Structure 1
Amino acid sequence: MMSSACLTQRASAGLSLTGPPLAPEAILHAHLRIARPVSNLARTERMYRDALDLSVLARFEDHDGFSGVMLGRDGLDYHFEFTHCPDHPIAPSPTPEDLIVFYLPDRPEWEAACARATEHGFMPVTSFNPFWEISGQTFEDADGYRIVLQNGTWR
């Protein structure tokens, strides 16, 4: 294992342990996939699709034992991938600070989104970090993963 001094020296020289540093523009054009194992794929698909007004972008069945669904919207730079493997189930293990935050600056839109989340099975919970209670609502899905619907902009 490298010493912290060696790691600091490599980092300050722009070196990484896995290869050359990425050019800043590479990250700017990246597409983000948020991948999570779930205990019930159909339930999770319905919850996220209907509560967050997402579409099924792709799905796969029994691919090397895994089934999954990708939810998002055309034109967005992110999507969710939820997977389930019945032969080797992984118990979801989120913490109260594992959050996906959606910023909704329009108050009526935010209120409607909060109502949809509850209607489709998300449970309102008190956020571990009190910041999210100021202008938002934290919700937990059936596996304990949390989303925050924040009434505001991210900046």
Structure 2
Amino acid sequence: MTIPTSKLRVARPTDDIKALLPFYRDGLGLQVLGEFEDHEGFDGLMLGVPQGPYHFEFTHHRGHGAGRAPTQDNLVVFYIPDHAAWQAAVERMRQAGFEAVPSRNPYWDREGLTFEDPDGYRVVLQHGAWKDGL
């Protein structure tokens, strides 16, 4: 049995929610969908596209450290088949002050660019279409 089509939340901890905001809001162009403070010791921020099929949630547990990404292979990949839209996404990242970094896996450098957030997690802007089964 497979999981039915649903919304996807990518949730992860961080030590500094405010440091992530420029990367995901200004660079990727996501909107703040919600936030909370001191919910049972957690602060949080959700970013995405209103009514979109996914969003990101970043949480900080007060008094606890989250640390950086464990490897450079912690990726979120956005497939952008339209060349003008891909170029605009890359330019928005650069205008927000973020430069591409070499991907640990050279596959992602052939058709895309990889950007690293302040916690060391990476986002690939892949110039290509999603291919089912791959």
The TM-score, its normalising length taken from structure 1, stands at 0.78
1 or 2 for the larger relative contact order (CA 8 Å, sep ≥6)? 2
| Paired residues of 1:92 and 1:143 also in contact (CA < 8 A) | yes
Corresponding residue SS for 2:47? strand
Partner amino acid for 1:140? E
Which protein is bigger by CA-based radius of gyration?
1
| Residue in structure 1 matched with residue 105 of structure 2 by the alignment | 129
Alignment match of 2:80 (pick from 104, 108, 111)? 104
Q: What is the Cα deviation at residue 90 of structure 1? A: 1.4
Give, in whole Å, the separation in 1 of the partners of 2:124 and 2:68. Answer: 18
For 1:69, the equivalent position in structure 2 comes to 45
Distance 2:56 2:91 in 1: 21
Select the structure that is richer in helix: 1
1:5-154 maps to which residues of 2 (within 5 A)? 23-24=1-2, 27-154=3-130
Q: CA RMSD in A?
A: 1.5
- Alpha-carbon separation, structure 1, partners of 2:96 and 2:14: 17
**Count of residues in Structure 1 that have an aligned counterpart in Structure 2:** 131
The offset of 1:150, in angstroms, is 0.6
What runs of 5+ residues in structure 1 fail to find an aligned partner?
1-22
**Secondary structure at the counterpart of residue 46 of structure 1:** helix
Moved more, 43-52 or 135-144: 43-52
Q: When the two structures are superposed, what TM-score results if normalisation uses the length of structure 2?
A: 0.89
1:101 aligns to what SS in structure 2? strand
The alpha-carbon deviation at position 119 of structure 1 amounts to 2.5
1-structure distance, mates of 2:91, 2:21: 18
- What's the % identity of the aligned pairs? 49
Residues 100-140 of structure 1: CA distance to partner in whole angstroms, max 9, x if unpaired? Answer: 00011111211111121123243411111111111100110
Runs of 4+ in 1 over 2 A off after TM superposition: 118-123
SS of residue matched to 2:100: strand
